[in-house]
Amino acid sequence: MPAPDSRALRHKVAIVGAAETDTVGLLPNHSMLHLHAESAFNALDDAGLTLADVDGLATAGPSPVQLSEYLGIAPTWIDGTSVGGGSFLIHVGHAVAAIAAGYASVVLITHGESGRSRVGVVGAGGGAGGNQTPGGQFEAPFGVFGPPSTFSIPIVRHMKRFGTTEEQFAAVAVATRAWAVKNPRALMRAPITVEDVLNSRLVAWPLHLLNCCVVTDGGGALVLVGEDRARDFPKKPVWVLGRGEAGAHSNISQMRDFTQWTHGIAAGENAFHMADIDRSAIDHAMFYDAFTHTPVYALEALGFVKPGEGGPFMAEMHTAPGGDFPMNTNGGGLSYTHTGMYGMFAIQESVAQLRGEAGERQIRDAKIGIVHAPGGFFASVSTLILGNE
Amino acid sequence: MAYNKPLPAPTPETQEYWDGLKRHELRIQRCRDCSRHYFYPRPFCPHCYSRNVEWTTVSGKGKLHTFVINYRPARGFESDVPYVIAIVELDEGARMMTNLINVQPDPQHVTADMPVEIVYDDVTPEVTLPKFQPARR
């Protein structure tokens, strides 16, 4: 057997069903598992399938067996990779290999999180864990409190090394909000300015409130099948062209280089190798924005700009409506929705753009999209390249 | 008043580190093969994967590598807000999370690469935490 090459799996598996929960935002009448189920039903409806057709299941948050029980299915391929908000991108990559190998024929990937209302939360949460864990011994005693105090730790080093400014990070929130204005489902839709961001209350300097994502309830799901039947569904298939993933640390204090996302570079290179395209082929980008600095690190890790150029690039508003690098067009985690593990929504928007279903925010002639996400605090990373031709 | 912040619980491979702090010594590990110091404690080198490692006592001097000034307190930290959660790079090269204390929690006074030194904070009879402060000149 010749050495395997991921390029052999390019364009072999497609997303044929994609949907979110009926609404996103504040859903106090939905348990976490109900959000998964509503997403699953909506995505399967989108593909003209039912739960009876599903033989592969991947999810994060609850385990795939907890979800199988709730849905009443017994899938013969399961993936419970749960490494934070980007887990669903990783599931897509794993599903490509599983479908190509014949392990499964219809893979359902679900997300649902009662991030705001906290109803019926199932499964292991994040956090430092017990006081014997590395996080419990070497971070918790110093008063870290959730993502705003940990995900933010690298920022000052980026500022020190490259001269990135608070105004440049604030510009990310401004550009993203300008997209949210065009999305009727977005939680935050009033336009904002750099001054508004810098004048919002301090959360963990250099983070102000408007540098941080919203907190919501919601879910989304995807249905994937192989090339042999991908064209037999109601909607045009969205092909998986490339995927990459990596993991390197769990606790932010162990991040190898606070100025660049080193394993994010590896994930991106693997995705572009598999897709066999250049950066210039990308029409649309979804870079997970838990905070305003995460897309800056993504832009640099993926090679769209050189190290240190991410801040000025954002300040020049290339990513805003009308710009030449449309990014986070649903309004992102910053303004659209962020349930906790936002990666599913980043994929949903990429699919919507490639299907031409993005309404007022539609990018004309979008053919190839990239989705890139951290899980945890730059801990895991995942990249997808999707295409509609 | 009883200490009500999160406390660490040592494991066998970290016991020497916590015991050292109690004696007001900063004990971290060094690889005998690649000569690099590393943190947190584990019985092999995370740089070159050698298991030929040793405990060393280090100076407790270093630089402030990166930080946030935190306004949303963790449990027990309510009266400390705002407080500096810092990553210090020791002179020996290893990095660790800590709090920067005895400084105004303000970006005018707290800056990347400022020299810092360890302060042994005996928070309970059993636990000493490594805090850091601006180095005395």
Per domain, the residue ranges of chain A are 6-123+213-387
Query: Which position has the token pair 């040592």?
Result: B10
Give A339-369 pLDDT, tens digit per residue. Answer: 999 999 999 999 999 999 999 999 999 999 9
DSSP type of residue A333 = I
Residue A382 has pLDDT above 70, yes or no: yes
CA–CA dist A35, A220 (Å, integer): 8
Q: What integer best gives the mean pLDDT of chain B?
A: 97
Residue A127: what pLDDT? 47
Q: How far is the C-alpha of A384 from the C-alpha of B12, rounded, in Å?
A: 41
Q: What is the pLDDT of residue B137?
A: 67
Residue of A nearest to B110 (CA): A156
- How far is Cα of residue A105 from the mean position of the Cα atoms in its chain? 24
**Contact by Cβ (8 Å): A179, A332:** yes
Q: For A205, name the nearest residue in chain B, comparing CA atoms only.
A: B69
User: Which 105-134 residues of chain A touch chain B by CB within 8 A?
Assistant: 128, 130-132, 134
What one-letter code names the amino acid at B110?
V
What ranges make up the beta strands (E) of A266-361? 284-287
Distance from CA of B31 to the nearest CA of A (A): 18
* Mean pLDDT value of segment B115-134: 98
Q: What is the mean pLDDT of residues B55-63?
A: 98
**Residue A122: its pLDDT value, please?**
80
CATH superfamily placement of domain A6-123+213-387: Thiolase/Chalcone synthase (3.40.47.10)
Residues with Cβ within 8 Å of B94's Cβ and at least 6 positions away in sequence, in order, are B28, B37, B38, B39
Q: Does A160 touch chain B (CB under 8 A)?
A: yes
Above pLDDT 90, what percent of chain A?
Answer: 96
Q: Which amino acid is at A137?
A: Q
Q: What ipTM was reported for this prediction? A: 0.95
From residue A120, give the alpha-carbon distance in Å to each of A33, A113, A220, B79.
7, 9, 17, 32
* Whole-number pLDDT of residue A129: 63
Q: Which of A179, A198, A217 is nearest to A334 (CA)?
A: A179
Q: What is the mean pLDDT of chain A?
A: 96
The two structure tokens encoding residue A83? 């490494």
* Segment B74-79 mean pLDDT: 96
Q: How far is B96 from chain A (nearest CA, A)?
A: 6
All residues of chain B having their beta carbon less than 8 Å from the beta carbon of residue A152 are 68
Segment (H or E) for A351: helix A343-355
> Which among A132, A145, A148 is the nearest to B11, CB-wise?
A132
Q: What is the pLDDT of residues A120-179, one digit of tens each?
A: 888 754 444 689 999 999 999 999 999 999 999 999 999 999 999 999 999 999 999 999
Mean pLDDT of A91-98: 98
At residue A2, the pLDDT reads 84
